[in-house]
Chain A
Amino acid sequence: MTEASGSGPAIEARGFSFWYGPRQALFGIDLAVARRTVTAIIGPSGCGKSTFLRSINRMNDLVPGARYQGSIGVEGMAALDRGTDMVTLRRRVGMVFQRPNPFPKSIFDNVAYGAKLNALVSKRELPDLVEQCLRQAALWDEVKDRLAQPATGLSGGQQQRLCIARALGNRPDVLLMDEPCSALDPIATQRIEELIFELKRQYTIVIVTHNMQQAARVSDMTAFFEAGRLVEFGVTTQIFTAPKETRTEAYITGRFG
């Protein structure tokens, strides 16, 4: 499925800094994400964790006045280069947003959207791809009888899984998740977390979360951001049980943030 091979990291940021107009949001981030792992980014509101995530597939290019320095490599592509083909980059880097945002189209069309654009499969194979993605997103059994119905009729949790299936439809290498459970109830959240656990066998996942229990449950590695700087990055169990930095400890024990 993934063309990724070799031993280097799936995502590698080097000296990455980011500005919103005059305000600097990120300061020289160095971070390497290993292939087929789940990396959680935690930190207080406004620490730049979403900004970092959205820089990986260049969603921040939309923001007026956004500037950046340094480099981010994604599966060997220089994501930030001017000449980088955004269509290729974004095909290889799927994204799931804070709130489920299905297109006002049928369930089938939502999943087929990316594949159709990138002509990944022929028309005949499209139903197979859609089924495969919906199965991977643990949604197939719930929607297999109503693929032609509008996606907006699904529940919030189902919509979010549909958005994951839609991202998988592009056959990406990397999945970016920007607080994917913040609009969901605990049961829907649990399903997404189980799903993340399944998906990491095939995909490299980076998840931004406000919920530290969630980070502890789903991730292999955890990065703690504060005020635009990467304070600590390490194996999740170590970050949560024996953080090296006092600021990390202060945050995860709930003394601030």
Chain B
Amino acid sequence: MNRVVWRRWKSRIMVSLLIASVLVAVAPLILILGTLIIRGAGSINFDFFTRMPAPAGEAGGGVAHAIVGTLLMVGTAGLIGLPLGIGAGVFCSEFPRSKLATTARFVADVMNGTPSIVIGVVAWTLIVARQKHFSGFAGSAALAMIMIPMVLRTTEEMIKLVPHSLREAALALGYPRWRTSLSVMVRTCLPGIVTGSLLAIARVAGETAPLLFTALGSQFMGTNLRQPIAALPLTVFTYATGPYDDWHRIAWATALVLIMVVLCLSLIARLATRQRFHD
């Protein structure tokens, strides 16, 4: 075999290995989606989104309470977490070498690697144990604690990608620093910050562990964040560990809804980023 042929074969072998690893990497996602669709899609109908759970043992019913609970809790977490995270991220990119920024960056990195159940325990200690009852608000606080470091880091990284020359251009036109920062730096990478925020929302929408200690879950429709409140991941947990076959079906369907929500947010995030490259 001459050299050129052998080289060609080496190339083919390496490319095949790479393709194989890509397939193995995406296989879990396909398996998860496939299983959820097979087991859960059958139970999804209009009632599933609009009705309350049926009494134990009875067929039918829906998870409207959990959808409302998740929306409320994740929404509140976003209202707390996004402004704080984005604000802190802007600070870290504006004063990158300050002590405060270095500390914040380090803490955020540690927090991003902290298991979410630990965050749940912390929220329990700080809020639930003091108020002596579980609440949706405690759940939101725990989710916000997960969001802040994520959003901080993505915001900072996105702003860092904006060329320094744009900052100079704005300053040279007489823009004060704060306006340069907001109307040039943040404005230019806004799609990236929005993407990061959506991904953070998608991530916390699926969190279960921190909610076990805080929002607790509920079988009733509740819109009061001062009370225990239902959530999609908690519903999956409750129904999946319950004794009835019908509950298991609901658990599969709820899991499917949850993953669809996460997928949709990721897709929107993708589209937002794509827009950016078309500009």
The chain A residues found within 8 Å of chain B, CB to CB, are: 57, 59, 62, 64, 86-91, 94-95, 97, 99, 101-104, 113-114, 117-118, 150, 152, 163, 166-167, 170
Contact = CB atoms under 8 A, between A and B. Distances in A.
Given A59-B168, A101-B165, A167 B173 contact: yes
Which A-B residue pairs are the 6 nearest by beta carbons?
A101-B165, A90-B174, A95-B172, A114-B173, A87-B174, A91-B174
A2 B276 CA distance: 39
Given A101-B163, A150-B279, A166 B171 contact: no
A91 B167 CA distance: 16
B174 A59 contact: no
Nearest to B184: A103
Given A104-B279, A117-B179, A150-B279, A170 B169 contact: no
Given A94-B172, A97-B168, 17 more contacts: A62-B167, A86-B174, A87-B174, A89-B174, A90-B172, A90-B174, A94-B173, A101-B163, A101-B169, A103-B169, A104-B279, A117-B173, A117-B175, A118-B174, A150-B279, A152-B279, A166-B169
12 contacts: A86-B174, A94-B172, A97-B172, A101-B169, A102-B169, A103-B169, A103-B184, A104-B279, A114-B173, A117-B173, A118-B174, A170-B173
A64 to B, nearest CB: 7
A101 B168 contact: yes
Contacts of B172: 57, 59, 90, 94-95, 97, 167
B227 interface: no
A108 to B, nearest CB: 15
Contacts of B176: 86-87
B219 interface: no
Interface of B: 97, 163, 165-176, 179, 184, 188, 279
A166 to B, nearest CB: 7
B133 to A, nearest CB: 50
Contacts of B168: 59, 62, 95, 97, 101
Contact of B174 (A102, A117, A163): A117
A117 B97 CA distance: 29
Most chain B CB neighbours (cut-off 10 Å) among A101, A114, A163 = A101
A170 B74 CA distance: 46
Nearest to B173: A114
A138 B184 CA distance: 26
Nearest to A95: B172
Contacts of A86: 174, 176
Contacts of A62: 167-168, 171
A170 B163 CA distance: 23
A114 B279 CA distance: 22
Contact of A163 (B97, B169, B175): B169
A95 B168 CA distance: 9
Contacts of A94: 172-173
Given A97-B168, A101-B165, A170 B174 contact: yes
B93 to A, nearest CB: 14
